[in-house]
Amino acid sequence: MLKRLFPPPWLTLVLLVCWVLLMNDVSPGNVLLGFVLGAAIAFRVGEGLWLTPVRFGRPWLLARLFAHVLYDIVAANLEVALLVLGPTRRLRPAFIEVPLDSTHEIALTSLISIVSLSPGTLCAELSDDRTRLVVHVLDLEDEAALVASIKSRYEAPLMEIFAC
């Protein structure tokens, strides 16, 4: 009963920060309005926002994953720049399917975001049963190696972080 009366504080805080950033104004009135809106939305939505409860298994792996993602984004930017500046007939665009082991909503959302953030790759579709991810690749050299890389560098750490 008590949980139902008071909205999740983390959700209220996130909504407040989003409101202040969207309004680009940190005046007391705007912060108060953001807090009231955030609390009202959090009260209405409550814990039903996530389909699967978020449990962190090994959150310290987040720093290692962040470093991998940052490195991969920088390297992919350089590769894409070289590809774009060179002759376009060298490009080998393709769609590949990545089989997924995780069905956790937050882990899948994070994986899709990470893959789409890396230049040269874009998530095109998540299957209805959440077992396959279709990825568009700008220049595909080895499909098996890319699938293995996505699974080992991103999906496996996300499954450990979110205790899937």
Per-residue pLDDT reduced to its tens digit, 62-95: 888 999 999 999 999 998 888 888 877 778 899 9
Please give the pLDDT value at position 47.
57
Is 73 among the domain residues? yes
Q: What mean pLDDT is predicted for residues 26-47?
A: 85
Residues 37 and 114 in one domain: no
Is 79 among the domain residues? yes
What are the backbone dihedrals phi and psi of residue 55, each rounded to the nearest 5 degrees, phi first?
Answer: -125, 130
Please give the pLDDT value at position 2.
47
d(CA 12, CA 31): 12
Alpha helices in the chain (DSSP H): 2-5, 9-23, 28-45, 61-85, 105-117, 143-150, 156-161
d(CA 164, CA 115): 19
pLDDT band at 103 (very low <50, low <70, confident <90, very high): confident
Number of domains, the chain: 2
3-state secondary structure of 10: helix
Please give the pLDDT value at position 50.
55
Please give the pLDDT value at position 1.
46
Which residues constitute the domain of residue 149? 61-161
Q: What mean pLDDT is predicted for residues 8-22?
A: 85
Residues 27 and 89 in one domain: no
Tell me which residue of 124, 129, 126 sits closest to 94, measured CA to CA. 124
Please give the pLDDT value at position 52.
60
Please give the pLDDT value at position 89.
75
Summarised one tens digit per residue, pLDDT across range 105-156 is 888 999 999 999 988 899 999 998 989 999 999 988 899 999 999 999 999 9
Residues 154 and 92 in one domain: yes
pTM over 0.85: no
Residues 43 and 117 in one domain: no
Is 54 among the domain residues? no
Please give the pLDDT value at position 48.
59
Is 56 among the domain residues? no
Is 82 among the domain residues? yes
Residues 82 and 28 in one domain: no
Residues 40 and 83 in one domain: no
Residues 76 and 146 in one domain: yes
